[in-house]
Amino acid sequence: DIQMTQSPSSVSASVGDTVTITCRASQDVSRWLAWYQQRPGKAPNLLIFAASSLQSGVPSRFTGSGSGTDFTLTISSLQPEDFGTYFCQQANRFPSLTFGGGTKVEIK
Amino acid sequence: QLQLQESGPGLVKPSETLSLTCVVSGDSISSDRNHWGWIRQSPGKGLEWIGTIFHTGSTSSNSSLKSRVTLSLDKSKNQFSVKLTSVTAADTAVYYCARTLYYDFPYGAYMDVWGKGTTVTISS
Protein backbone atom coordinates (compact mmCIF):
# COMPACT_ATOMS: atom_id res chain seq x y z
CA ASP A 1 0.00 0.00 0.00
CA ILE A 2 1.05 3.57 -0.65
CA GLN A 3 1.65 5.51 2.57
CA MET A 4 1.05 9.25 2.75
CA THR A 5 2.97 11.33 5.29
CA GLN A 6 2.00 14.90 6.06
CA SER A 7 4.03 17.56 7.80
CA PRO A 8 3.79 19.41 10.02
CA SER A 9 1.20 17.67 12.15
CA SER A 10 0.01 21.06 13.36
CA VAL A 11 0.67 24.72 12.64
CA SER A 12 -0.45 27.93 14.29
CA ALA A 13 -0.44 31.07 12.18
CA SER A 14 -1.90 34.55 12.11
CA VAL A 15 -4.47 35.97 9.76
CA GLY A 16 -2.67 37.13 6.65
CA ASP A 17 0.19 34.64 6.96
CA THR A 18 1.15 32.09 4.34
CA VAL A 19 0.87 28.46 5.47
CA THR A 20 2.55 25.57 3.68
CA ILE A 21 1.63 21.92 4.24
CA THR A 22 3.55 19.08 2.67
CA CYS A 23 2.50 15.57 1.76
CA ARG A 24 4.97 12.85 0.83
CA ALA A 25 4.01 9.56 -0.83
CA SER A 26 5.93 6.33 -0.25
CA GLN A 27 5.79 5.67 -4.01
CA ASP A 28 5.36 7.75 -7.14
CA VAL A 29 1.70 8.80 -7.44
CA SER A 30 2.24 10.99 -10.52
CA ARG A 31 -0.10 13.98 -10.09
CA TRP A 32 -2.95 12.01 -8.62
CA LEU A 33 -3.29 13.80 -5.34
CA ALA A 34 -6.19 15.65 -3.73
CA TRP A 35 -6.42 17.96 -0.72
CA TYR A 36 -9.32 18.37 1.70
CA GLN A 37 -10.15 20.72 4.56
CA GLN A 38 -12.13 19.39 7.51
CA ARG A 39 -13.55 21.69 10.14
CA PRO A 40 -14.42 20.16 13.55
CA GLY A 41 -17.60 18.08 13.44
CA LYS A 42 -17.97 18.49 9.69
CA ALA A 43 -17.32 16.36 6.63
CA PRO A 44 -14.16 16.95 4.59
CA ASN A 45 -14.39 19.55 1.84
CA LEU A 46 -12.50 19.11 -1.43
CA LEU A 47 -10.01 21.90 -2.16
CA ILE A 48 -7.64 20.59 -4.83
CA PHE A 49 -7.62 17.59 -7.17
CA ALA A 50 -5.01 16.31 -9.63
CA ALA A 51 -2.36 18.02 -7.50
CA SER A 52 -3.07 21.56 -8.67
CA SER A 53 -6.65 21.86 -9.97
CA LEU A 54 -8.75 24.14 -7.80
CA GLN A 55 -12.21 22.79 -7.02
CA SER A 56 -15.05 25.07 -8.08
CA GLY A 57 -16.00 27.54 -5.37
CA VAL A 58 -12.72 27.22 -3.45
CA PRO A 59 -10.90 30.53 -2.90
CA SER A 60 -7.84 31.14 -5.04
CA ARG A 61 -5.64 31.58 -1.94
CA PHE A 62 -5.46 27.77 -1.88
CA THR A 63 -2.75 26.46 -4.21
CA GLY A 64 -1.58 22.90 -4.79
CA SER A 65 1.67 21.85 -6.39
CA GLY A 66 3.97 18.88 -6.82
CA SER A 67 4.21 15.57 -8.59
CA GLY A 68 5.72 12.17 -8.04
CA THR A 69 6.21 11.79 -4.31
CA ASP A 70 6.27 15.36 -2.99
CA PHE A 71 3.30 17.70 -2.85
CA THR A 72 2.50 21.03 -1.25
CA LEU A 73 -0.67 22.85 -0.26
CA THR A 74 -0.17 26.57 0.21
CA ILE A 75 -2.67 28.84 1.88
CA SER A 76 -1.86 32.44 1.04
CA SER A 77 -3.18 35.25 3.21
CA LEU A 78 -4.67 32.95 5.86
CA GLN A 79 -8.27 33.76 6.78
CA PRO A 80 -10.15 33.02 10.04
CA GLU A 81 -12.32 30.43 8.28
CA ASP A 82 -9.25 28.43 7.20
CA PHE A 83 -8.92 26.71 10.57
CA GLY A 84 -9.32 22.95 10.61
CA THR A 85 -7.45 19.83 9.62
CA TYR A 86 -6.11 19.34 6.13
CA PHE A 87 -5.73 15.92 4.54
CA CYS A 88 -4.03 14.77 1.38
CA GLN A 89 -5.26 11.71 -0.55
CA GLN A 90 -3.51 9.73 -3.27
CA ALA A 91 -5.31 8.07 -6.16
CA ASN A 92 -2.62 6.50 -8.31
CA ARG A 93 -2.90 2.84 -7.37
CA PHE A 94 -6.40 2.06 -8.71
CA PRO A 95 -8.74 1.39 -7.03
CA SER A 96 -7.08 1.93 -3.65
CA LEU A 97 -7.22 5.36 -2.05
CA THR A 98 -5.18 6.41 0.96
CA PHE A 99 -5.14 9.55 3.07
CA GLY A 100 -2.41 11.34 4.91
CA GLY A 101 -2.58 11.65 8.67
CA GLY A 102 -3.68 15.28 8.60
CA THR A 103 -2.30 18.71 9.47
CA LYS A 104 -4.17 20.81 12.00
CA VAL A 105 -4.20 24.54 11.24
CA GLU A 106 -4.94 26.90 14.10
CA ILE A 107 -5.42 30.63 13.90
CA LYS A 108 -3.41 32.61 16.45
CA GLN B 1 -27.41 20.45 -6.29
CA LEU B 2 -26.05 17.02 -5.40
CA GLN B 3 -26.66 15.97 -1.81
CA LEU B 4 -25.86 12.77 0.05
CA GLN B 5 -27.38 11.59 3.32
CA GLU B 6 -26.20 8.62 5.35
CA SER B 7 -28.55 6.59 7.51
CA GLY B 8 -28.28 3.57 9.74
CA PRO B 9 -28.15 2.45 13.37
CA GLY B 10 -25.94 4.46 15.67
CA LEU B 11 -25.20 1.47 17.89
CA VAL B 12 -24.17 -2.01 16.79
CA LYS B 13 -23.18 -4.93 18.99
CA PRO B 14 -19.77 -6.57 18.60
CA SER B 15 -19.69 -9.47 16.12
CA GLU B 16 -22.85 -8.22 14.39
CA THR B 17 -23.19 -6.58 10.97
CA LEU B 18 -23.10 -2.82 10.44
CA SER B 19 -25.39 -1.67 7.61
CA LEU B 20 -25.48 1.89 6.28
CA THR B 21 -27.30 3.50 3.37
CA CYS B 22 -26.54 6.69 1.49
CA VAL B 23 -29.44 8.38 -0.29
CA VAL B 24 -28.44 10.48 -3.29
CA SER B 25 -30.48 13.49 -4.43
CA GLY B 26 -29.82 15.96 -7.21
CA ASP B 27 -28.17 13.54 -9.65
CA SER B 28 -28.59 10.02 -10.93
CA ILE B 29 -26.65 7.29 -9.20
CA SER B 30 -26.35 5.62 -12.61
CA SER B 31 -24.69 8.54 -14.41
CA ASP B 32 -21.54 7.40 -16.22
CA ARG B 33 -19.18 9.72 -14.40
CA ASN B 34 -20.55 9.05 -10.92
CA HIS B 35 -18.96 6.55 -8.60
CA TRP B 36 -19.73 6.22 -4.93
CA GLY B 37 -17.52 5.74 -1.94
CA TRP B 38 -17.52 5.09 1.78
CA ILE B 39 -14.92 6.60 4.09
CA ARG B 40 -14.69 6.40 7.87
CA GLN B 41 -12.97 8.34 10.60
CA SER B 42 -12.28 6.81 14.00
CA PRO B 43 -12.47 9.14 17.01
CA GLY B 44 -9.62 11.62 16.88
CA LYS B 45 -8.06 9.83 13.92
CA GLY B 46 -7.59 10.33 10.22
CA LEU B 47 -9.64 9.24 7.24
CA GLU B 48 -9.81 5.64 6.02
CA TRP B 49 -11.18 4.65 2.62
CA ILE B 50 -13.58 1.71 2.97
CA GLY B 51 -14.52 1.10 -0.65
CA THR B 52 -15.94 2.36 -3.91
CA ILE B 53 -18.87 1.15 -5.96
CA PHE B 54 -18.73 2.15 -9.61
CA HIS B 55 -21.75 3.20 -11.66
CA THR B 56 -21.62 -0.21 -13.31
CA GLY B 57 -22.14 -1.91 -9.97
CA SER B 58 -18.62 -3.29 -9.73
CA THR B 59 -16.90 -2.72 -6.42
CA SER B 60 -13.53 -2.40 -4.77
CA SER B 61 -12.65 -2.19 -1.10
CA ASN B 62 -9.77 -1.59 1.26
CA SER B 63 -7.66 -4.72 1.49
CA SER B 64 -7.63 -4.39 5.28
CA LEU B 65 -11.43 -4.75 5.33
CA LYS B 66 -12.06 -6.62 2.11
CA SER B 67 -13.37 -9.89 3.52
CA ARG B 68 -15.88 -8.06 5.72
CA VAL B 69 -17.19 -5.40 3.32
CA THR B 70 -20.08 -5.61 0.88
CA LEU B 71 -21.05 -2.65 -1.29
CA SER B 72 -24.25 -2.37 -3.31
CA LEU B 73 -26.26 0.01 -5.49
CA ASP B 74 -30.03 0.39 -5.59
CA LYS B 75 -30.77 2.29 -8.78
CA SER B 76 -34.53 2.24 -8.20
CA LYS B 77 -34.08 4.19 -4.96
CA ASN B 78 -31.03 6.19 -6.07
CA GLN B 79 -29.05 5.00 -3.10
CA PHE B 80 -26.08 2.85 -2.23
CA SER B 81 -25.14 0.84 0.82
CA VAL B 82 -22.32 -0.73 2.76
CA LYS B 83 -22.33 -3.75 5.05
CA LEU B 84 -19.47 -4.54 7.40
CA THR B 85 -19.60 -7.91 9.12
CA SER B 86 -18.13 -9.14 12.40
CA VAL B 87 -17.64 -5.66 13.80
CA THR B 88 -15.47 -4.87 16.79
CA ALA B 89 -14.80 -1.75 18.84
CA ALA B 90 -12.17 -0.82 16.27
CA ASP B 91 -15.00 -0.20 13.79
CA THR B 92 -16.40 2.62 15.92
CA ALA B 93 -16.21 5.69 13.70
CA VAL B 94 -18.00 8.40 11.80
CA TYR B 95 -18.95 6.92 8.44
CA TYR B 96 -19.18 9.15 5.39
CA CYS B 97 -20.51 8.50 1.93
CA ALA B 98 -19.15 10.57 -0.95
CA ARG B 99 -19.35 10.92 -4.70
CA THR B 100 -16.11 9.81 -6.28
CA LEU B 101 -15.00 11.32 -9.57
CA TYR B 102 -11.99 10.43 -11.70
CA TYR B 103 -9.87 13.04 -13.43
CA ASP B 104 -8.60 10.49 -15.95
CA PHE B 105 -10.18 7.12 -15.20
CA PRO B 106 -8.84 4.94 -13.62
CA TYR B 107 -6.49 7.55 -12.20
CA GLY B 108 -7.03 10.67 -10.17
CA ALA B 109 -9.99 9.78 -7.97
CA TYR B 110 -11.29 12.46 -5.67
CA MET B 111 -14.41 12.93 -3.54
CA ASP B 112 -16.19 16.18 -4.39
CA VAL B 113 -19.48 15.85 -2.49
CA TRP B 114 -19.78 14.28 0.95
CA GLY B 115 -22.62 13.39 3.25
CA LYS B 116 -22.63 14.88 6.73
CA GLY B 117 -21.54 11.60 8.25
CA THR B 118 -23.16 9.23 10.69
CA THR B 119 -21.64 8.10 13.97
CA VAL B 120 -21.56 4.37 14.60
CA THR B 121 -20.57 2.97 17.97
CA ILE B 122 -19.75 -0.68 18.44
CA SER B 123 -20.68 -1.70 21.96
CA SER B 124 -22.67 -4.33 23.79
Report pLDDT for B102: 94
Tell me, what's the pLDDT at B45? 83
The per-residue pLDDT for A27 is: 95
pLDDT score for A60: 98
pLDDT score for A20: 98
The secondary structure of B4-69 as a DSSP string is EEEE--SEE-TTS-EEEEEEEESS-TT-TT-EEEEEEE-TT--EEEEEEE-TTS-EEE-TTTGGGE
pLDDT along chain B (124 residues), means of 10: 97 98 96 95 92 93 92 96 97 98 92 98 97
Helix (H, G, I), strand (E, B) or coil at B91: helix
All residue ranges of chain A with pLDDT < 70 are none
Q: What is the three-class DSSP state of B84?
A: strand
Indicate the DSSP class of residue A16: T
A96 alpha carbon, distance to own chain's centre = 18
In B, minimum Cα distance to A48 occurs at: B110
| pLDDT for position B43 | 87
Q: Residue B91: what pLDDT? A: 96
Those residues of chain B whose CB sits closer than 8 Å to some CB in chain A are 37, 46-49, 52, 60, 62-63, 96, 98, 101-103, 106-112, 114-117
Chain B residues lying within 8 Å of A30, measured CB to CB: 107
What is the reported pLDDT for A1? 86
The confidence score (pLDDT) of residue A94 equals: 84
